[in-house]
Every structure is written in C-alpha cells, then in structure tokens.
Amino acid sequence: MKNLKRILTLSILLVLVVEYSNAQEIVLNKYKFGEGLGFSGKDNNYKMEISGYLQPYTESKKYLDNDDATSYNRMRMRRARLQFSGSSKKEKISYRLQFDLTGGDESDTPVGSLVYDAWIGYDLTKRIKLTFGQKATSTDNRELGMRSSTLQLVERSPVSAAFASVREFGFFAESTYKVSKQSYIKPEFAITNGDGLNVFGKDHGGLKYGGRIDYLPFGLFNNFGQYRQADLERELTPKFVIGANYSYNVGISDRRGSQSGTILYLDNQNNELLPDYLKYGIDFLFKYRGFSLLGEYVNASARVPSGITKYIRDNGSIDTFVLDVDVKSRMMLGNGYNIQGGYVFKNLFSIDGRFSYLQPETYSYLNNARYYNRSHFYSLGITKYLARNYGAKIQLDCTYINAKSGSLDINKKPIAGNEFITRLITTISF
C-alpha cells in the first residue's frame, strides 16, 4: 500500500464530498456554545460541522527529598485542534479531517505534521460502518477513544502514555447490535499500517491486525457519553460498558508501533528484520447521576526473531552485536492498570482522582531511568466547567509519583526521593 495512493485516494474522496455539498443549498444551524458550527442541506440529507478547541497549559515539576530545590516549569499551547466533519445520509458517506497546529501528539511527542484525522466512512448497512484513512484505533485502551477536550484530569494516564499507538492508517470496521431490550454489543476491527500516524516515507515491517468488542448491558450512553470521561449528562439510569481489545503488529520499527523507522534491525544479509508487538487489554466505564468510574488494564509483549544480528545506530552506522534482551530493552513491554473516578456537582465543579501502576518486563524501555522507571502514580484534580458541556473549563491537578531506585531527573542526575507535578490547563472550544 503506497503512501501516495493513500493521499490521492483520500483527497479525491474528500473533494467528491465537498462537490456534493456545493450542489445543495446549505444553511447554518442554531449555534450551541462548544458544539461547533453546524451546516445542513434544506432536505437535511447533508450535514457538515466545523469545530475545534485550544488548550493553554502550565506545568511545574519538583523532585522531593533531593538536593535540587528547583521547580522545573514550562508553559505552552498543549493542543490547538481544528476539525471538519460531515455526512451525507442518502449516499451513506461520512468524513473527518482534523489538524493540530502544535505538531505534538497525545503522548507529548513531536510528530512533525499537522494532520491527525483524515478518513472517509461508508455505512455498509444500518449496523455496519467501514472506514478508510487515518484515525484513532480501537486497539488502544478506552481512554484513547475519548476526545482530549473531555478528559477528567489535565493529562491522559501513564498507562495510555506507555502503551498507546493513538492513530494509525488503514481499514476500520465497526458495528452495533442490539441483543436484548436494553443491551448492546459493539465489535470493531482494524487492519492498519502499524507505524502510527503520518507515515509518508517507507513502510517498515508488516501490517497490524486487531480489534475491540464492547458490551453495554444497560443501554447506550446519552450524548456520546461512552466517548467522554466526566458525567456532565448526569445519566438518569446507570450506564456501563465493558470491553476487551487485542492487536498483533507484524514488525515494528519503534518502541510500541506509534512511529516509523526510528529503531531498525537487520539479519546477516543486511535485510530488514523487525520484532513483532502483541498487546491486549480489558477496560470498563460506569456513569450515573454525575459519578463516573473508568478502569483499564493493558499488557504488551514482544516476539523477537532469532535471525536479528545487527541494528542501525542513529548516525546510520551498523552494530553487529544484538541480543534478544537488547531488542526488548528498546520496546515498551510490561503491563499496567489505571483506575479513575470523579463526581460532577450541580454547580459544575468536579472532583476527580486517579491511581495508575506500571510494571515493566525485566527487559523493557519502561525501565529507562530518566523517562520512566516509575511505578505508582497518584493524581487528584478539580475542574470548573463554565457550561453544561465541554465548551470551556479550567482544570488543576497534582500528581505524586514513586520513582524507583536508580531513577534520574531531567538533568540525568540521580533522584533521592520521588516526584510531584502540578498541572493547570484551560480548554476553550467553539
């Protein structure tokens, strides 16, 4: 699957959608703060929405029980998203194009491109939707299926940061089946490039295969509540979803299959030979009258081919001494779980808490002394919603982190104690 064909195909399909919209008389719908600008054809067949949000962000980090009394601070624009989406009921087509003007991803890593979502979907039946393009993958933990502007706490959990691939390019299928008076099953499948987002160069390794299945015993959530964290809708009846996900990535060229070509290995004939990455998890979400509870477990492991004998250094040179443990030590391997909950009061204040735990394999990049090698994460936050939706909010949270023996600070100096991080973020949507 060539990248040029991907770009051309998406461009042609999106142009066709736009051309179709031009053929209709378009009217502006009634505006609701934080819900975007909505347009529709007079026959209500075609709908389009322009939305987005800004998130100014401040962080202060302090190392405890250490000789270093410095507070390390930074201020920046965490996210600046702009999204175009639409659908045509008669033609059974939908699409989305989303940009982030900061150039960073959900794990706070520069991605070097503005494009986040670029896909077009087709409703094969009333229950089955097929999608082609770049989008969030269902093979990640549940939190990654929730929009960044709807997070309960300032940042996503350490479990998401450690194991998620976030967005990928490929084919996706999703469906919804009603199995009783109230209960639903929602299976999803994906075949993707397995190299993360915006892969415009060479594809390394093979494809990634995976999916998710969700079970909702008490009916569907209101107003897409399954994909939003806090219970701003204040569900009048208990709503619950439990799900499992699985993926197998054939040949990854980075730490977890979220980038392309950053870590490459060779066999004796200098042919590219890469390790496989297997990941599975289980998660749930519960909401009722302002209370919400989210739980997630993720396990990631690797299969390293015995034929790997070399690796390519950052400077392009080749090292001929490679062991199985050397390969695994560059990958995000191990398991972790996350439990978080909160309550939204009627005055639109919310109190939220989270506990996360990471347990790396014996040989894993999660043991890296500077960036990881942390096990327990305790967070407490407060949020003020300025409207009964996600149009605007102010969030403050504090996180206490257990740094294991041998951990280093950002200056590569040993940490005698633990860490304390305070974060403040403001979300403004339109």
CATH number at residue 13: 2.40.160.10
The C-alpha angle with vertex 307 and arms to 256 and 206, in degrees rounded to 5, equals 45
Residue with tokens 């990640």: 140
pLDDT given at position 343? 98
DSSP 408: B
Other beta carbons less than 10 A from residue 46's beta carbon: 23
**Domain span including residue 421:** 3-429
| Strand spans (E) along 229-328 | 239-249, 265-266, 276-288, 291-303, 310-312, 318-319
DSSP 293: E
Q: In the chain, how many domains are there? A: 1
For 13, list phi and psi in degrees, rounded to 5.
Answer: -65, -40
pLDDT given at position 113? 63
DSSP 157: -
Give 321's contacts (C-beta < 8 A, 6+ positions apart). Answer: none
pLDDT given at position 289? 97
pLDDT given at position 163? 97
pLDDT mean for each 10 residues of the chain (430 residues): 47 52 69 86 83 96 84 93 91 92 65 80 95 95 94 96 94 96 97 88 90 97 94 96 98 93 92 96 98 98 94 86 88 98 97 98 95 96 93 97 92 89 96
pLDDT given at position 228? 93
